[in-house]
Structure 1
Amino acid sequence: MKDPNQKRPGYKKTTAGWIPIEWECIRLGSVFTNRKKKGSKGLPVLSVTMDRGVILRSAIERKMATAVPSDESLLVEPGDLAYNMMRMWQGAVGVCSTSGVISPAYVVCRPLKTRADAWYMYHLFKSHPGRHWLTSYSYGIHEDRLRLYYDDFALVPIPLPPLFEQRKIAAILSSWDAAISQTRDLIEAAKRRKRALMQQLLSGNVRLPGFGDGGRDAGRKTHGTTGGRLPEGWRRLHLHEMARLEYGRDWASVADPAGAFPVYGTGGIIGRASEPLAHGPTLIIGRKGSIAQPQMVESSFWAVDTTFYLVPQVAFSVGWLHALLCLSGLGHLSEGSGVPSLSRNTLDSVRLPTPPLPEQRAIAAVLSTADDEIRALEAKTAALERQKKGLMQKLLTGEVRVTQDARHRTHAPWVVRLASHPTKETPP
């Protein structure tokens, strides 16, 4: 692909590509030192993650291996960069914000403060050009075995702007990171609100206006899908009283990449079919493998032979039933000792607290509105991520420049001004 800066006035050709003439092309070893100082007891244990940078090891949800002995761990201090030598080519790097200890499986580097800004380097290493340069100096039998030791890291050539420009580029990109992080927090909060709504509305503990007393009915609280008293007018029905479970079928004979109908497996859409097996709206439930969460399908579809699909026998709200089964979960019904599996008899015997159809539809509408809020926030996050990716490409290669604005220097030393080649993106 042609370098966008190629032969542009004010740019020069270097090992790292075409860069502004004010920038240098340097090797990382000239602006980093490798820190190997041992840690000490009492300091927090840190880890390097792919998407969250350097964080407390205790914040990682997955179970970690045994603790690293303090006499083997490495000391990290604020401003240090730490990276996973086996995953640096994928962007497993972070800036330390607190003192701590880290596994010797990681590499700890300290940027020279007069030459390199830690956060600029972090964004560079996370960018597509940065990962390309780092991958070029990583070694291994195949991709999953690539390692980047410090001696090779030190040889990687990169473009280096003046220090003030590094800091301003880092500030711009960090503003997008902050906006993305904030939006993700809003998504998690919206998901928690939706789950709380599900727990209250699907049990009958809280009624919507127009149903019951429209508020809490303290004498009729329920507890999940079994036991507990139900509000007046609700019944506890078996799944087979509402719908018939049908087996999915092998789809080899109808497979067609240009087919009009989606093919559903236990984890979602896996292909297209030339003809449908059944019609929505309905639910697809995993029979083997991913069984915990049912899938709601609005139109015609094909379901593979590791799934069930529902054929309604009475009128009910598919959205309500989907929410109820998602809330209760089906994983605990698994009958497989290895691969999770469900039988038709087990599913048919599930008892569900069932309100009248109008209330089912009202509950489904409220939860659908909550889903709309979550989808809107997810779309906003995706848009911010696309904007940041475009800015990284332009700012970190010098295609778009930032300059120090002397007019505002007394008020804000690092006022950001995109120069020469402005883009549509502006910091959030």
Structure 2
Amino acid sequence: MMSKVVKMQDRKTIPTGYKQTEVGIIPEDWGVDSIGHLLSITTGKKNTQDKVDDGTYPFFVRSQTIEKINSYSFDGEGVLTAGDGVGTGKIFHYLKGKFDFHQRVYLMYNFKETLDGYFFYIIFSNYFYDRIMSMTAKSSVDSVRREMIADMKITLPPKNEQTAIALVISDTDALINALERLLEKKQAIKTATMQQLLTGRIRLTQFAKHPDGTIKGYKFSDLGHIPEDWEEREIGQFAPLQRGFDLPASKRSEGLYPVVYSNGIVNTHNHFQVKGPGVVTGRSGTLGKVHHIECDFWPHNTSLWVTKFIKSDSKFVYYIFKYIGFERFASGSGVPTLNRNDAHSFKVAIPSSLKEQTAIATVLSDMDAELVTLEKKLAKVRDIKQGMMQQLLTGRIRLSLDHQP
């Protein structure tokens, strides 16, 4: 049966069908109860060193990572959270089955008939951090005491509505997990493709053959075997880096042109120093980040930039710089600084043909665009889930199998 939705109107007064409670305004047919009245709470008996890399059962420790172990102390439905450590109040797990858990991990189980286990996981993980933060004057929580959990009040919709809410959120979680796995897979494919194309180990079809149809071969160089029609060149010979510029206070105003710092584009201004397209990387502070800028821009003095591309394609240079990893040229014992001379003398193999450079860059750009689209979709679904929880867990939107509008 399809769920029916009833929406509560935004009003300053308590709407008809709702009531004021210690946890806020909720539907009249919802209850409020303490967690300790609705389930049992215990802690584990294991230590982190008890984990087994190829163990049979899940082992929950004080982190989001689920370890493995060859023993189990619980078999059933449970919700777990870290009792202390850096993830206090932020680490939650829901599981049905056999598992073991750390002595400083809390397990909530033995749910009363009036409480859906997954609904509890959703509401607990959504509100517990705010609760424990309200109980400390510090910016973090060192540990969780049992009563912090047991005395926490939660809303209690009718059981069938809890189940409906849990189903909607779990379906959204499944979509988020699927998108995360897809994104991870696509990122791995892109990394492998980048490695293969930028070293010539794989050639794009249109550049892999001679005019007579024979396959192009490889030659030996200081870099090992490279395609016969590629060149071994120092970075300074095809993409010489220049130091960025100070940004005078008189020119610090919002505008059309990006200002690129060592850690990326921070803001825009009405003035530019160099004409794009260009490639920018960090000179001091944050090293290793690389940015391709299509328009005119201002490279900050914490960055190095290049707009003079000698027999090279700007986007191809961008990917070469990303592949190299400029943090390898760091020097200094304090704030890391990129050694430009070392970078300039570093040798890479690049196609002699600008067309092949551009084609390689286009393939990688298309893959980046696909990744950006997936990241935006994932972010949108996460936002939708957060919005749904805010509405469903307060009863502002009713979701029930038999509730009448």
User: What is the TM-score with the length of structure 1 in the denominator?
Assistant: 0.80
- Counterpart of 2:158 in structure 1 is 162
1:211 is aligned to 2:211: no
* Range moving further from structure 2, 106-115 or 85-94: 85-94
- Counterpart of 1:230 in structure 2 is 226
1:391 is aligned to 2:405: no
Partners of 2:93 and 2:367 lie apart in 1 by 34
SS at match of 2:267: strand
Equivalent AA in structure 1 for residue 59 of structure 2: V
Partners of 2:400 and 2:21 lie apart in 1 by 22
Q: What aligned pairs does 1:14-53 form with structure 2 within 5 A after superposition?
A: 14-36=21-43, 38-39=45-46, 45-49=59-63
SS at match of 1:353: strand
- 1:400 is aligned, of 386, 397, 400, to 397
Decide whether the 8 Å contact of 2:62 with 2:87 is kept in 1: no
- Counterpart of 1:299 in structure 2 is 295
Partners of 1:157 and 1:198 lie apart in 2 by 52
Deviation at 1:308, TM superposition (A): 0.8
Deviation at 1:133, TM superposition (A): 4.3
Decide whether the 8 Å contact of 1:234 with 1:353 is kept in 2: yes
Partners of 1:242 and 1:254 lie apart in 2 by 35
- 1:377 is aligned, of 374, 377, 382, to 374
- Counterpart of 2:80 in structure 1 is 82
Superposed CA deviations along residues 116-159 of structure 1, whole A, max 9, x for unmatched, are: 222212211333x66544543x32x3122465422122222221
Partners of 1:237 and 1:419 lie apart in 2 by 74
Looking at secondary structure, tell me which structure has more strand per residue: 2
- 2:19 is aligned, of 2, 12, 22, to 12
1:110 is aligned to 2:109: yes
- Counterpart of 2:119 in structure 1 is 120
Partners of 1:123 and 1:370 lie apart in 2 by 35
Partners of 1:109 and 1:404 lie apart in 2 by 27
Equivalent AA in structure 2 for residue 284 of structure 1: V
Deviation at 1:233, TM superposition (A): 2.6
Deviation at 1:187, TM superposition (A): 1.0
The percent of aligned pairs where both chains have the same amino acid is 27
1:220 is aligned to 2:218: yes
Partners of 1:88 and 1:31 lie apart in 2 by 25
Partners of 1:89 and 1:23 lie apart in 2 by 29
- 2:252 is aligned, of 249, 256, 261, to 256
Equivalent AA in structure 2 for residue 232 of structure 1: E
Deviation at 1:23, TM superposition (A): 0.9
Superposed CA deviations along residues 322-365 of structure 1, whole A, max 9, x for unmatched, are: 11221232233323345433211111101121211111111111
- 1:344 is aligned, of 336, 340, 346, to 340
Partners of 1:311 and 1:113 lie apart in 2 by 67
The number of residue pairs the alignment matches comes to 386
Partners of 1:171 and 1:395 lie apart in 2 by 12
Equivalent AA in structure 1 for residue 383 of structure 2: R
Decide whether the 8 Å contact of 1:205 with 1:217 is kept in 2: no
Decide whether the 8 Å contact of 1:205 with 1:218 is kept in 2: no
Deviation at 1:11, TM superposition (A): 1.2
Partners of 1:376 and 1:318 lie apart in 2 by 23
Deviation at 1:176, TM superposition (A): 0.5
- Counterpart of 1:426 in structure 2 is none
Deviation at 1:31, TM superposition (A): 1.1
1:57 is aligned to 2:67: yes
Deviation at 1:389, TM superposition (A): 1.3
Decide whether the 8 Å contact of 1:89 with 1:132 is kept in 2: no
Q: What aligned pairs does 1:268-287 form with structure 2 within 5 A after superposition?
A: 268-287=264-283
Runs of 5+ consecutive residues of structure 1 not aligned to the other structure: 59-66, 406-417, 421-428
Deviation at 1:284, TM superposition (A): 1.0
User: Closer, same or farther in 2 for the Cα pair 1:146/1:279, shift >3 Å?
Assistant: farther
Superposed CA deviations along residues 256-313 of structure 1, whole A, max 9, x for unmatched, are: 3523322222221233333122222111121223322322122222222222111315
What is the root-mean-square deviation of aligned Cα atoms in Å?
3.2
Partners of 1:132 and 1:109 lie apart in 2 by 19
Partners of 2:162 and 2:219 lie apart in 1 by 59
User: Closer, same or farther in 2 for the Cα pair 1:88/1:118, shift >3 Å?
Assistant: farther
Partners of 1:146 and 1:285 lie apart in 2 by 39
Partners of 1:222 and 1:24 lie apart in 2 by 76
Equivalent AA in structure 1 for residue 81 of structure 2: Y
Equivalent AA in structure 2 for residue 206 of structure 1: I
Decide whether the 8 Å contact of 1:77 with 1:99 is kept in 2: yes
